[in-house]
Structure 1
Amino acid sequence: MAARSLNISRRSPDALITALMLPVMLMLIFVYFFGGAIDTGTAYVTYVVPGAMLLCAGFGAASTAVSVADDMRCGIIDRFRALDIGGIPILAGHVTASVLRNLVSTTLVLAVALAIGFRPQAGPLALLAAAGLLTAYITAISWLAAALGLAAKSPEAAGGFTFLMMFLPYPSSAFVPIHTMPTWLHGFAEHQPLTPVIESLRALLLDRDPGTTPWVALAWCAGITLAALALTALLFRRRTA
């Protein structure tokens, strides 16, 4: 199932290139267009990279929702069920392919960031912890995207549902410090799921003490994954009943 999903992506090079290049372009826009006007206490490229990687994951998850919705519309699910393939393996294939695609795209974002001046200072263990946290986040939003794809009535609607996932990095600490935002936005920006993930990645990559923030981030990732799994199972039974 994962190989099938990857083959589908390979047959849509325009969508794949967009998913790979758009986060890179956005990072370059923020660094070179706005970075000089934003005071973060460090080089802006150093500040923005964790948020750019999560933004990249959001774009990648959008394609997962669209693929699931397309499978539900075209009738391939009925053929798989006739072969005694359950819903979870089918959707797990989409999620596995999403994780692999997103890891490639975030690696590309990191490579471009290194080329324009980003210099991580983390040791091997911190880099491994950052990679593990990023993978946990990508897995969580991929399962959430699969659930949204099941809930959508069409691939176009699935793409619209994932707008929220791509929007969430903006009202967080991804691109500007939270204290520079309007006061009424502070509470949401500080306590939404992406902020602890971003702050943890930033601390781990720059060899700073993250405190308990990574555990908060992992708790968010686990909660989103479990909720998405339960919702996925429920929606699949309803859509295929």
Structure 2
Amino acid sequence: MRILHDSAIVAKRNLIKVKRVPDLLVFSTLSPIMFVLLFAYVFGSAIAVPGVSYKEFLMAGIFVQTVIFGATITGTSLAEDLQKGVMDRFRSLPMARSAVVVGRTAADVGTNVLTVVIMSLTGLIVGWRIHSSVFEAAAAYALLLLFAYAMSWLMAVVGLTVKTPEVVNNASFIVIFPLTFIANTFVPSDNFPTVLRTLAEWNPVSAVTQAARELFGNTSPVVPVADVWPLQHPVLYTLVWVVLLLAVCVPLAVRKYERTLVA
């Protein structure tokens, strides 16, 4: 119970920080809005997906890209706290050591919720529609946030390892940018070169995107799903990756944080 109480306090502290520094939230939401508008009206005029509106095909990919890039906030924030000596203050407090990392990742879930809401409203404005049930749509949002939460723990490991916000940003961009583009996020992957198509089909980002499209009812009956296990069972494949990331990154992040306290 103590760790939950301490984690809730740390999460509240991080959310208050967002409130007092609104620039963090403004720029984290402007980016996905810009992507939606650019892809919908600039690239959308040149990209056609048979059997479905490109705007509806696009939104699942934008959702996934945004929550993954949003996870980098976890790493940069932890690195910034290390750099500014905030962790030294936490060290002197009678609190559970893991609460700092748990609270940080929990706060970023709240930030992602707000970002997803803003993106959904933007998508509805440009013509995106949900054609499934309320339960399926809720499941899609839950899956997106769950995957984002797992990615936050991965970024926590990066932030506690690198310890410099600028390096965390650069390292995350180098990995996440190709990860989100070598996938079915913005275009169907069936026309990719053979090597890239194979990478895209087994890329967890493709599975999350495919799962969101199916749950939102934005799939095309004309474009068949690739005959590979991850895309035939995208929800299950996504959950496997979530469990794997949490199983590896949670204890690793906590251990790295504890080492910073004795360093």
> How high is the TM-score relative to the length of structure 1?
0.93
Q: Equivalents in 2 of 1:31, 1:78: separation in Å?
A: 46
Match runs of 1:170-209 below 5 Å = 170-206=181-217
1:4 aligned partner:
13
Match runs of 1:67-216 below 5 Å = 67-163=77-173, 164-206=175-217, 212-216=233-237
1:222 aligned partner:
243
1:231 aligned partner:
252
2:46 aligned partner:
37
Does the 8 A contact of 1:58 with 1:166 survive in 2? no
Does the 8 A contact of 1:172 with 1:192 survive in 2? yes
**Offset at 1:85?**
1.9
**Offset at 1:86?**
2.8
Does the 8 A contact of 2:67 with 2:144 survive in 1? no
Gapped regions of structure 1 (runs ≥ 5): none
Q: Equivalents in 2 of 1:75, 1:166: separation in Å?
A: 30
**Offset at 1:26?**
0.9
> How high is the TM-score relative to the length of structure 2?
0.86
Does the 8 A contact of 1:123 with 1:207 survive in 2? no
Q: Which amino acid aligns with 2:54?
A: Y
Q: Equivalents in 2 of 1:184, 1:81: separation in Å?
A: 48
Q: Which amino acid aligns with 2:53?
A: A
**Offset at 1:141?**
1.0
**Offset at 1:167?**
4.0
2:75 aligned partner:
65
Does the 8 A contact of 1:31 with 1:44 survive in 2? yes
The answer on 1:19 being equivalent to 2:28 is yes
**Aligned with 1:215: secondary structure?**
helix
Does the 8 A contact of 2:136 with 2:215 survive in 1? yes
Inter-CA distance 166–110: structure 2 relative to 1 (3 Å threshold): farther
**Root-mean-square deviation over aligned CA pairs:** 1.8
Q: Equivalents in 1 of 2:23, 2:178: separation in Å?
A: 22
Q: Equivalents in 2 of 1:144, 1:9: separation in Å?
A: 21
1:240 aligned partner:
261
Does the 8 A contact of 1:178 with 1:190 survive in 2? yes
**Offset at 1:39?**
2.2
Q: How many residues align?
A: 241
Q: Equivalents in 2 of 1:53, 1:3: separation in Å?
A: 25
Deviations 1:140-180 (A, max 9, x none): 11111111110113111121222123442111100011012
Q: Equivalents in 1 of 2:81, 2:136: separation in Å?
A: 39
**Aligned with 2:170: secondary structure?**
helix
